[in-house]
Structure 1
Amino acid sequence: MKTLLRGLLAAFLFTAFAAPATQAFARDKVVYHINDAEQQALAALRNVRNQLDTVPDTDVVVVAHAKGVDFLMENYKDAATVGPLISALHARGVKFEVCEITMKQRNLKKDQFVLDADFTPSGVVEITRLQQKGYAYIKP
């Protein structure tokens, strides 16, 4: 009987205290969803910068599709404004993912994008996958 009680107490203590401790040490993970560069890109980049300034070890992925890919293109009209932010954030570990479905639909090529851009077969699938992996979803 004592052995059973000790086992139950140990299981209770492990459940009560080990799980919260594990969660307390988990890294923050965030996916930013951009589908309209004009309306969202600059605000998103500033939000990402603020997030990393507050919690530097956050894993951040910016996923762009539809009109959202424009800010990652070399010839973007506001490249002088967003370019330095993209480079600085990429240097801090932020991943920028461009939707290849969008590229195909708009007849865009990989060499039209900034060097800091990576590519994913589908932007919405990538967002879904990241959320399933525990990434918080933010749409600026």
Structure 2
Amino acid sequence: MKCFRLFAVVCALLVSGVAWSQDKVVYHISETDSQALAGLRSVRNHLDTDPTAKIVVVAIGNGVDFLMEGAKDKNGSDFAGPVSALLGRGVRFEVCEITLKLRDLQREKFILDAEYTPSGVVRLTKLQLQGYAYIRP
């Protein structure tokens, strides 16, 4: 009976993709000033070490600001370059639509490649339930 249970668990893990699969990671950015630059560097370093990782960056609250057209970090450098480089490596950037509504922001103010999710918090939860590791820089 124990062998059957172990076999069932291993099969379930294989089917769900949890065991022996690529890393799946969600980075949570809620503050542009204190998290965005460090988060982008962490994502870059992550991909430099594991180029096959599947990475999603979910931005909520003031964390969406770095994905706006013309956004600059505290040193005056554009976020566009690092974001574009990571997009080219397969990273997805998702903006919380609740934040847009609460802050009266329009989609047109964001980079073209930004994606949108109805709720950033719900998205973070669902990704974790799908086996994504959670990182908040």
State the TM-score, normalized to the length of structure 2: 0.85
Q: Quick check: which has more Rg, 1 or 2?
A: 1
Question: Which secondary structure state, in structure 2, belongs to the residue aligned with residue 129 of structure 1?
Answer: helix
The Cα of 1:80 is off from its aligned counterpart by: 3.9
The Cα of 1:111 is off from its aligned counterpart by: 0.8
Q: 1:61 aligns with which of 30, 49, 56?
A: 56
The residue number in structure 2 matching 1:138 is 135
The Cα of 1:115 is off from its aligned counterpart by: 1.3
Q: Percent identity?
A: 54
* Segments ≥4 residues shifted beyond 2 Å: 21-25, 77-81
The Cα of 1:47 is off from its aligned counterpart by: 0.3
> Pairwise CA RMSD of aligned residues?
2.3
Structure 2 alignment gaps of length 5 or more:
none
Give the alignment of 1:4-23 within 5 angstroms: 11=4, 15=7, 22=14
Aligned residues: 130
The residue number in structure 2 matching 1:97 is 94
Structure 1 alignment gaps of length 5 or more:
1-7
State the TM-score, normalized to the length of structure 1: 0.83
Question: Which secondary structure state, in structure 1, belongs to the residue aligned with residue 78 of structure 2?
Answer: helix
* Greater percentage in helix: 1
